[in-house]
Amino acid sequence: MAKYDKGDLERRMKGAVESLKGDLAGLRTGRANTALLDPVMVEVYGSHMPLNQLATVSAPEPRLLSVQVWDRSNVGPVEKAIRSAGLGLNPINDGNNLRLPIPDLTEERRKELAKLASKYAEGARIAVRNVRRDGMEALKADEAKKEISEDERKRLETEVQKLTDETIKALDEAATQKEKEILGK
């Protein structure tokens, strides 16, 4: 049975692109975005839970996030989790609601965020290259088992490389777009 599966390689490469886009969405650009709070984990009920399982997060204004906590007893832990998440946000307690004004980004912070976006993109590129390597190894294994010919292996390797190049181009475009957004260009 052949080990090479083009559909699986495409799925895994698309997954790397989607993962990068999710990571980049969590980077703050000076505008309110509910994805900013996605990485926040709150310690309640004896375990760590994502913030979106304890509250409704919305962006009522361009520079303000609103967190409506469902259970009043969880307001304190949610507020503490947001403060300690390292996002540079200071919640203002309003009963069951927390208001999070989004402060202006300094030039130094913008550069740090741009570097972080580049780091995320490089991690995604590495993931795509690992998928390519897996595909190439599968093709060589199929050829060794005499399931495909040498010519067929070379043709499929060219397809895998083309898919890899397209995926890396998509990753680079997403990272470049986010860096421009962060740096305000």
Model pLDDT, residue 27: 74
Model pLDDT, residue 162: 95
Which is more confident, 109 or 114?
114
pTM of model > 0.75: no
Task: Report yes or no: 179 and 112 within 8 Å, Cβ to Cβ.
Answer: no
> How many angstroms separate the CA atoms of 120 and 113, rounded?
10
Helix, coil or strand: residue 111:
helix
Model pLDDT, residue 127: 95
What's the average model confidence in pLDDT over 61-72? 88
